[in-house]
Amino acid sequence: MDVLEVNRLGRLVQLALERLRSANDFGDRLERWLLVARRRLAVDQSEDNRRRLNDLELLQVQHNGHLRNLLLDVATAQVRLQQYLVMNVVQQLNHEMEVPTEDEGYETSNSHQ
Domain count, the chain: 1
Cβ–Cβ < 8 Å for 70, 19: yes
Q: In the predicted model, is pLDDT for residue 37 greater than 80?
A: yes
Measured distance CA(100)–CA(6) in Å, rounded: 30
| Residue 113 vs residue 13, higher pLDDT | 13
Q: What percent of the chain has pLDDT over 70?
A: 86
Q: For position 98, what pLDDT does the model report?
A: 80
For residue 17, what are the domain limits?
3-85
Judge whether 111 lies within some domain.
no
Q: For position 79, what pLDDT does the model report?
A: 93
Judge whether 24 lies within some domain.
yes
Q: For position 5, what pLDDT does the model report?
A: 86
pLDDT bucket at 107, cuts 50 / 70 / 90 = low
DSSP 20-37: HHHHHHHHHHHHHHHHHH
Judge whether 92 lies within some domain.
no
Judge whether 106 lies within some domain.
no
Cβ–Cβ < 8 Å for 75, 12: no
Judge whether 103 lies within some domain.
no
Rg (CA), the chain: 28
Q: What percent of the chain has pLDDT over 90?
A: 67
Q: In the predicted model, is pLDDT for residue 63 greater than 70?
A: yes
The sign of the torsion formed by the CA atoms of 46, 50, 52, 53 equals: positive
Judge whether 81 lies within some domain.
yes
Judge whether 94 lies within some domain.
no
Which phi and psi angles does 28 have, rounded to 5°?
Answer: -65, -45
Mean pLDDT of the chain: 88
